[in-house]
């Protein structure tokens, strides 16, 4: 006798995967001030429509973020140089 017309049982997994998705770019720890300044500068280039437009050129905020990053990076280099002198 053939199968009595029962459908295929679909078994749900006993432990469905968690819905909590870890962000792909999650920082494992806090960034240094220089890294945060660089991140803000780099992210601005991606997010800003004016800066992405090669004909429009960088906007004023881009210049400020770049100078902030340069100043923090320069201060960090000088601090290391002073400590090693």
Binding site for Zn ion (CB under 5 A): 48, 50-51, 59, 62
Which residue, among 37, 29, 27, has the nearest Cα to 74 in the 3D structure? 37
The distance of closest approach from Cβ of residue 63 to Zn ion in the complex, given in angstroms and rounded to an integer, is: 9
Listed in sequence order, the DSSP H helices in 17-58 are 33-47, 49-52
Q: Which residues contact 66 (CB under 8 A, 6 or more apart)?
A: 41
Return the number of the residue (24 or 46) whose C-beta is nearest Zn ion. Answer: 46
The distance of closest approach from Cβ of residue 54 to Zn ion in the complex, given in angstroms and rounded to an integer, is: 13
The distance of closest approach from Cβ of residue 64 to Zn ion in the complex, given in angstroms and rounded to an integer, is: 10
Q: Provide the token pair at 16.
A: 């469905």
Return the number of the residue (8 or 54) whose C-beta is nearest Zn ion. Answer: 54
Instruction: State which residue has the least CB distance to Zn ion.
Output: 48
Return the number of the residue (62 or 73) whose C-beta is nearest Zn ion. Answer: 62
């Amino acid at each position: 006798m053939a199968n009595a017309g029962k459908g295929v049982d679909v078994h749900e997994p006993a432990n469905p995967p968690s819905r909590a998705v870890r962000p792909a770019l999650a920082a494992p720890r806090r960034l240094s001030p220089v890294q945060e300044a660089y991140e803000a500068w780099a992210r601005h280039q991606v997010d800003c429509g004016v800066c992405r437009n090669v004909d429009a050129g960088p906007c004023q905020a881009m210049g400020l973020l770049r100078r902030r990053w340069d100043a923090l990076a320069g201060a960090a280099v000088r601090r290391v140089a002073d400590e090693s002198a």
